[in-house]
């Protein structure tokens, strides 16, 4: 396999309007990410996109208003990931604050019901006498489930952000920025972002009807739950466009000031992470995995109840439970990774790595195949689908797909389905991630069809891994103060990447910590500075000998230890 190629981000030869006060490095980084006006990084809630043009949102708000007024049983149908959990908790907290009394939630156990509002799940909704169903982070593909609901006179509101199929479900209202003719400008909302906008419109509708005054209810501030919106948005890896950055920034402010919900505070506590430095990376690497673990291995209701409780002791108990489940997830994933690594090593020993990779093992856990696919994709820079059985004795396989830049994975599955309509039972997803179900007998045929469509979409273009950086950095800018400026200039995330740099350093010392991490002391080639560094997932042997130069790609971090803040470089790639 070819070595990764280094590519530095292009910087247009212009100035950011209103950005004269910016540090020269921040100015350069913003330009490389398409920022041309300082207003694009002024993260004030008043700058959020208005809900005007958000198709279906006013109809949905009116239905919810009527349901609250009539004391109908409202049931939130969630999803079993962090976006689904935060969406569910947000809707329940918001609607309760607006006077909904008869409200509950149900999350389909992925091992029994699968994804979304399925016909089997409708049977469970019948048992609880659901009258208004609101899906969050799912439902846009649930044609059969919604049809069954309508035959039973249940009202259904779909709130989702996934790409819609050709046939939409016959819901009473659909709120999804990616539906045809929707004019809402921010198409990148996570499911929890869609729920946030709907709640804001429900509040407006109730206020116009003088609901809060008439019922002696305090008018709720929907922004108080932006911590939930931030976590769901970061965890779901949706692009951080300007609108999402405003939502995430406001939510992270609540997190770092410990104004967040007790359940979120408890997650930081059990993870051993300083909440004051709870940025996007902390959410992505420490909080989201613990929240996701419940849905992967057990029941996401544990995570939702954590986000719903206001009791600190209960929050700590549930957070510890999630922490234990996450440790179990890590153990399962490690065992699965051994087999995947052996397959990848075999592929890499060939002259040329295939353009797509499909993996399956009969003993794999379906709740963890998505993480496995991500790991293999990162190593190979190839689109990867990892499959597991639906259950121990099932002939149906659940696949989780992860893609690379330049390849829309859901479009590939659409083409496969169009060419072989009886091959895939069901599928859905985004440009970078998707899920599918097929019969075990179809696996080999699918692998071939998937490979053909990947090749057709790539049209022969090279897919060697490219390492994007913001270029070199002057020695005087390798400082704690600049690292703090970089931290404050976020939020960083998907499509608004964390600033990274490349440069040459002398290895002064290196040592192994843990099982496979390296602690280093680096010296700049001009001998003016020595800097601590950490390289996760790297062995000391991967670096040159002490006293020799290495070309490294890195991020600048603020390291806090015993109330002392220092600069630390996080090494992402060894180029030479």
Condensed to tens digits (0 to 9), the pLDDT of residues 454-508 reads 999 887 676 777 889 999 999 999 999 999 999 999 999 989 999 999 999 999 9
pLDDT of residue 263: 97
Residue 2, pLDDT above cutoff 60: no
Model confidence at 449, pLDDT cuts 50, 70, 90, reads: very high
* Residues 375 and 271 occupy one common structural domain: no
Domain carrying residue 134: 54-323
**Nearest CA-CA partner of 428 in 105, 182, 79:** 79
Residue finishing a domain among 428, 458, 488? 458
* Residues 297 and 403 occupy one common structural domain: no
Using a pLDDT cut of 70, give the percent of the chain over it.
Answer: 98
Contacts of 269 (CB under 8 A, 6+ apart): 275, 316, 319
> Which residue shows structure tokens 């990162």?
378
N- to C-terminal Cα distance for the chain? 16
Higher local confidence (pLDDT), 293 or 263: 263
Which pair of tokens denotes residue 524? 């700049």
State whether residue 37 is helix, strand or coil: strand
Residue 544 lies in a domain: yes
* Residues 66 and 177 occupy one common structural domain: yes
> Which residue shows structure tokens 């002259």?
351
* Residues 472 and 452 occupy one common structural domain: no
**Nearest CA-CA partner of 292 in 22, 85, 69:** 85
Residue finishing a domain among 323, 342, 377? 323
pLDDT of residue 114: 66
Higher local confidence (pLDDT), 73 or 457: 73
Residue 40 lies in a domain: no
State whether residue 466 is helix, strand or coil: strand
- Crossing angle of helices 288-297 and 301-308, in 10° steps, is 140
Which pair of tokens denotes residue 52? 């005007």
pLDDT of residue 576: 67
Over residues 47-71, the mean pLDDT reads: 95
pTM for this predicted structure: 0.89
Residue 47 lies in a domain: no
Separation of alpha carbons 385 and 372, rounded Å:
9
| H-type alpha helices, 241-311 | 242-256, 262-271, 280-282, 288-297, 301-308
Residue 100, pLDDT above cutoff 80: yes
Over residues 356-367, the mean pLDDT reads: 90
Condensed to tens digits (0 to 9), the pLDDT of residues 309-335 reads 999 999 999 999 999 999 999 898 888
* Residues 212 and 294 occupy one common structural domain: yes
Over residues 402-420, the mean pLDDT reads: 91
Neighbour order of strands in the sheet with 384-389: 357-360, 384-389, 396-402, 433-439, 424-429
Separation of alpha carbons 273 and 227, rounded Å:
16
* Residues 356 and 412 occupy one common structural domain: yes
Separation of alpha carbons 510 and 519, rounded Å:
6
Cβ neighbour number for residue 146 with a 10 Å cutoff = 26
**Domains contained in the chain, number:** 3
pLDDT of residue 562: 78
pLDDT of residue 379: 85
Please say whether the beta carbons of 469 and 6 come within 8 A.
yes
* Residues 454 and 479 occupy one common structural domain: no
Residue 282 lies in a domain: yes
Model confidence at 393, pLDDT cuts 50, 70, 90, reads: confident
CA angle centred on 404, ends 287 and 452, rounded to 5°: 135
Residue 350, pLDDT above cutoff 80: no
Using a pLDDT cut of 90, give the percent of the chain over it.
Answer: 76
Residue 512 lies in a domain: yes
451: domain CATH number is 3.10.310.30
Residue 36 lies in a domain: no
* Residues 244 and 358 occupy one common structural domain: no
> Which residue shows structure tokens 């489930």?
145
**Sign of the alpha-carbon torsion through 236, 446, 411, 139:** negative
* Residues 100 and 244 occupy one common structural domain: yes
pLDDT of residue 367: 86
pLDDT of residue 385: 95
* Residues 78 and 151 occupy one common structural domain: yes
546: domain CATH number is 2.40.50.140
Residue 423 lies in a domain: yes
Condensed to tens digits (0 to 9), the pLDDT of residues 331-343 reads 988 888 888 888 8
CA distances from 391 to 212, 365, 387, 395, 437 (A): 49, 9, 12, 8, 12
**Nearest CA-CA partner of 217 in 73, 68, 91, 92:** 68
Least confident of 82-91, 132-141, 143-152, 452-461: 452-461
Which pair of tokens denotes residue 489? 């200039």
Residue finishing a domain among 458, 482, 513? 458
String of DSSP letters for 314-377? HHHHHHHHHHHHHHHHHHHHHHHHHHHHHHHHHHHTSSS--S-EEEE-TT--TTTHHHHHHHHH
* Residues 474 and 446 occupy one common structural domain: no
Separation of alpha carbons 404 and 127, rounded Å:
43
Model confidence at 80, pLDDT cuts 50, 70, 90, reads: confident
Condensed to tens digits (0 to 9), the pLDDT of residues 189-207 reads 999 999 999 999 999 999 9
217: domain CATH number is 3.90.1640.30
Residue 283, pLDDT above cutoff 80: yes
Residue 332 lies in a domain: no
Maximum average pLDDT range among 77-81, 253-257, 432-436:
253-257
Residue 110, pLDDT above cutoff 90: no
* Residues 431 and 315 occupy one common structural domain: no
- The DSSP secondary-structure symbol of 493 reads B
Separation of alpha carbons 351 and 1, rounded Å:
8
pLDDT of residue 115: 74
- Crossing angle of helices 288-297 and 82-97, in 10° steps, is 100
Model confidence at 147, pLDDT cuts 50, 70, 90, reads: very high
Contacts of 423 (CB under 8 A, 6+ apart): 416, 417, 438, 442, 445, 446, 449
Separation of alpha carbons 291 and 293, rounded Å:
6
Mean pLDDT of all residues belonging to the chain: 92
């Amino acid at each position: 396999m070819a070595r990764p190629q280094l590519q530095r981000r292009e910087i247009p030869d212009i100035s950011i309007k209103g950005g004269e006060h910016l540090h020269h490095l921040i100015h350069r980084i913003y330009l490389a990410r398409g920022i041309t006006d300082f207003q694009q990084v002024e993260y004030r809630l008043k700058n959020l996109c208005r809900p005007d043009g958000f198709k279906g949102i006013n109809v949905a708000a009116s239905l919810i208003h009527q349901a609250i007024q009539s004391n109908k049983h409202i049931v939130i149908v969630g999803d079993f990931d962090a976006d689904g959990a935060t969406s569910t908790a947000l809707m329940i907290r918001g609607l309760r604050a607006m006077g909904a009394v008869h409200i509950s939630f149900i999350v389909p156990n992925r091992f029994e019901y699968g994804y979304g509002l399925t016909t089997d799940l409708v049977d469970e909704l019948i048992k609880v006498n659901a009258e208004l169903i609101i899906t969050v982070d799912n439902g846009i593909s649930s044609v059969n489930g919604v049809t069954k609901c309508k035959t039973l006179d249940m009202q259904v509101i779909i709130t989702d952000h996934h790409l819609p199929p050709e046939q939409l479900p016959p819901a009473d209202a659909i709120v999804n920025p990616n539906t045809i003719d929707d004019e809402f400008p921010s198409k990148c909302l996570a499911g929890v972002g869609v729920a946030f906008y709907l709640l804001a419109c429900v509040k407006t509708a109730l206020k116009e009807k003088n609901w809060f005054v008439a019922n002696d209810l305090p008018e709720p501030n929907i922004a108080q739950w932006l911590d939930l919106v931030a976590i769901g948005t970061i965890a779901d890896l949706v692009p951080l466009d300007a609108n999402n950055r405003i939502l995430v920034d406001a939510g992270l402010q609540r997190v770092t000031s410990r104004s967040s919900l007790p359940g979120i505070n408890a997650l930081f506590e059990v993870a051993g992470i300083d909440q004051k430095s709870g940025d996007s990376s902390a959410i992505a690497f420490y909080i989201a995995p613990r929240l996701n673990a419940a849905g992967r291995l057990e029941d996401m209701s544990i995570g939702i109840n954590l986000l719903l409780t206001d009791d600190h002791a209960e929050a700590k108990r549930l957070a510890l439970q999630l922490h234990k489940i996450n440790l179990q997830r890590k153990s399962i994933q490690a065992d699965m990774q051994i087999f995947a690594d052996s397959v990848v090593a075999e592929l890499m020993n060939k002259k040329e790595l295939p353009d797509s990779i499909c993996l399956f093992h009969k003993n794999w856990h379906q709740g963890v195949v998505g993480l496995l696919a991500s790991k293999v994709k990162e190593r190979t820079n190839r689109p990867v689908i990892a499959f597991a059985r639906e259950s121990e004795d099932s002939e149906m396989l659940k696949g989780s797909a992860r893609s690379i830049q330049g390849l829309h994975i859901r479009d590939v599955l659409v083409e496969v389905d169009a060419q072989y309509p009886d091959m895939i039972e069901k599928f859905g997803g985004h440009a970078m991630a998707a899920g599918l179900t097929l019969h075990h007998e179809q696996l080999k045929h699918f692998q071939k069809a998937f490979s053909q469509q990947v090749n057709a979409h790539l049209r022969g273009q090279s897919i060697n891994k490219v390492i994007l950086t913001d270029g070199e950095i002057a020695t005087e800018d390798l400082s704690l103060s600049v690292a703090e400026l970089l931290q404050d200039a976020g939020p960083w995330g998907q499509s608004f990447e964390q600033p990274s740099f490349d440069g040459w350093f002398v290895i002064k010392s290196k040592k192994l910590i843990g099982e496979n991490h390296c602690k280093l002391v680096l010296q700049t080639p001009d001998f003016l500075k020595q800097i601590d560094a950490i390289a996760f997932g790297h062995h000391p042997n991967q670096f040159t000998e002490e006293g020799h130069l290495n070309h490294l790609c890195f991020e600048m971090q603020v390291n806090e230890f015993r109330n002392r803040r220092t600069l630390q470089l996080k090494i992402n790639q060894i180029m030479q």
